[in-house]
Structure 1
């Protein structure tokens, strides 16, 4: 019995020893946990403080950006991934309309944008104001940011500067114009003076009257050319079919080529090729080129028009003839006002052509031709992508493959 009690006492002593050691370990673990909690609390407090600071900075930045958007002279519209307007600045509502948020950007464009676009990168509003438009990716979020800048004042200033430049050019060229006017005027006065001579026979007097009329018509042409040149960039924009423009050109030029036993080659135009510009102004430019071609070619004048549809919304027209061509020495001066190689010329024909093409947001340049004659390249804006046509230059063997037809007049 005493032995059994001794064993129990030893067992209890060992159990208390284990318990004491476990208690010490638990106490140590608890202290470590408290230390870790303290560190985590300090880190959390620091992180929270930093976050609050960041949020405060972002809020300040948002306020600054909001004020900046309000003060911007341009209209800013933020679109979501579906093209819906989610945010605008006051200038956007002033330029377009109030209550833009929540509307589809495509619908707003249809309501306020003129379908006849202005210069590249610019649009004309139905209100008549000119705006430049640019779009950018907002970043991580889907959608776009649209910026519209009112450039109406710049357009008016540009038009004023163009007119001032033309007036300056007219001042510099006044001596040349006076010389060109003096010659036909002096000739007309000489013929008119001879009318008082009683010895002049009626037939001779009638011939002199015809000469006087020719001189007066020449003076009238010079005045008309000068007026067209000074009018410069004022063109009315409309949308019309290129086929109709070329058909009108054909009808006007036909009688002149008929008298010379000449010919005209025009491309077969697909109906949906639409041009933007001043139709009468462009027709005048084409007729001016044709007049130059006829004067250069003389009898059996041969005029060719070819079309190439380019990818960026512009059509390129090649206008060529079988005339004498243009000498290399004067190629850089042919578009200069009052420059002419013909004694009876005014020197304003090609200057007016270039002015008309530029006024219609196009471009004209003289190309090199290995076949003789002159070849001009005219670029004009389209209202849509249009079909794609390919063609060569001059009298290439590819005419039969380009769906062209020949009009012998």
Structure 2
């Protein structure tokens, strides 16, 4: 992968922030967008803006073709068996809430168990908390090893005959750890449970094959993978989706509406009420074209190299703590850290003055912060457009941050 050529496709990177060339290290929060995606969205609004499915005129037909064409691109990208298994949503959060509210409410009763982990994003905690409260089910947490990884022995001990749902993130947005989803899915299925995967941090960074993982549901967001905000995907096995009820009702998702009752369209449209996110889906399709051309395997290899380089350089900074596994092959391009006696928000503020964008806070993972025994952390996250020079700038900025607070206090 030629990173210099890749960077040219991202116009936002060619600017200065606070008098310094921008170093963007916050792609785990949202990625930047290449010109191909920007142009695809612009082309929709300039050339064929129209609603989909409803009209027979030329603009409506083209919009529908592009919208449904994007669904087919998603299907290929994750290797789903059919477009019936690909539902467009507003993002990972909406997708996970859909599974909890539709599948969960219909299939779980008091005494059943839901298994998640301490590392989950709030979007993969709160829907299950609410489901447990509403149905009387038990929410269990799979323990973590000292480095934040999951032991399959712990998975076997935690997932039982009472477990009905196992929901785990594929890649941690804090620890960067890549979880053994395929193996955990096999354990879940041995006990008759369904496997739900939060793929927000994996779909942008590696090859995804939902049939190989044998997960039952897989959720991800477009904006973390070079696509616009407000568009995401819920993959679900057809036999499960067919037996689930929609959670939103209105136009587009209906087959027949009478005075007292209605029936729904077939998959996937019964889960897509109202005017869909047309421009977002078209942008997601363009992003998938872009990422496919580069190759997900090449993206992950690049991130492993950056992670190894960053771990080596950052570990040399005295007083800097790094969270998660130390092996670069065990993680995606996320490194979360704290600088001794400096609040993460102060670290991020000083780095921003140097033109370096990192994230600081609890990263929507407060249970994990408690497990780590910290209130907050700073996080640098890499993507296909980052370089070793970006990491050098980060390291220099951290050294400057440390010197500044040592001298001030």
TM-score scaled by structure 1? 0.22
Max Rg structure:
1
Higher helix proportion (structure 1 or 2):
1
